[in-house]
Structure 1
Amino acid sequence: MLGAIKKHLSDVFHELTRRQGVVIEEEHLMKGHVHMCLSIPSKFSVSHVVGYMEGKSAVSIARNFKGKQKNFTGEAFWVRGYVISTVGLGEEMARAYIRIKKS
């Protein structure tokens, strides 16, 4: 089941980011969290992109794996916070970290 959810989430994340013009440079989905390196257009804030991805993906998980069709009030899939770091000169280091976690 975990493998199916990971595959589904990866597909959902790629579709959602494509819609927003965001590029997933690196990703690794694990049993409790997700590591991603994203290129986000300057017209969007990080919180907008993360909130959009969390909200839409949670609805998709509920519909596809929990049998829900409507009204997700009071349910949560993601935790309330996230960790962010901007990368510039350290971008390759961040990508390497995600790749190591993937192995």
Structure 2
Amino acid sequence: MSYTTGCHTIFHHRYHIVWTPKYRYKVLRGKIRERIHAIVRQVCKEMGVTIVSGVLSTNHVHMFVEIPPHIAVSYFMQRIKGRSSRKIQQEFPELKKRYWGQRFWARGYFCTTSGNITDDIILQYLEQHSDKD
């Protein structure tokens, strides 16, 4: 496991994030797919988020990213989904028939953290330290 360093921090915050287009339509193909790929990379670069791995399926997006501690996952997702939705709908007007209401992405997203330890190990660790006090 490698840690990332900031000015006053050392961290290893990795998240598996999944989100889908509205109605889970299979529209992430061709030029739309390429454009979303470029927009996501651009937003990650601007925010200092490292993409460990990512997959664009036809009806959902998987990303494994490392997000610095000063950025909330919800803020990161707001920027990714907001910017990509706006730009995709501007650049591909044919999507407006299918995605009315100015929203390309479905509400919400799935997110889980990555790590080498389980909840049980953390609880055991905390119990050991509470006995010493």
Q: CA deviation at 1:89?
A: 2.0
Aligned to 1:51: 78
Q: CA deviation at 1:81?
A: 1.2
Aligned to 2:64: 37
Alpha-carbon displacement from aligned partner over 1:44-95 (angstroms, at most 9, x marks no partner): 110000111000000110111117xxxxx932100001100000228xxxxx
SS of residue matched to 1:28: strand
Query: Which whole-Å CA distance do the structure 2 matches of 1:3 and 1:89 have between them?
Result: 37
Q: 2:50 aligns with which of 23, 29, 41?
A: 23
More strand by share: 2
Aligned to 1:70: none
Runs of 4+ in 1 over 3 A off after TM superposition: none
* TM superposition score normalised by structure 1: 0.76
Aligned to 1:61: 88
* TM superposition score normalised by structure 2: 0.60
In the alignment, does 2:20 pair up with 1:4?
no
SS of residue matched to 1:85: strand
Aligned to 1:89: 116
More helix by share: 1
SS of residue matched to 2:106: coil
Which has the larger Rg? 2
For structure 1, which segment, 48-57 or 58-67, has the greater mean C-alpha deviation from structure 2 after superposition? Answer: 58-67
SS of residue matched to 1:6: helix
Bigger relative contact order, structure 1 or 2, given CA contacts below 8 A and separation 6+? 2
State the aligned residue count.
Answer: 86
Structure 2 residues not aligned, in runs of 5+: 1-26, 95-99, 118-133
CA RMSD of aligned residues (A): 2.1
Query: Which whole-Å CA distance do the structure 2 matches of 1:32 and 1:23 have between them?
Result: 23
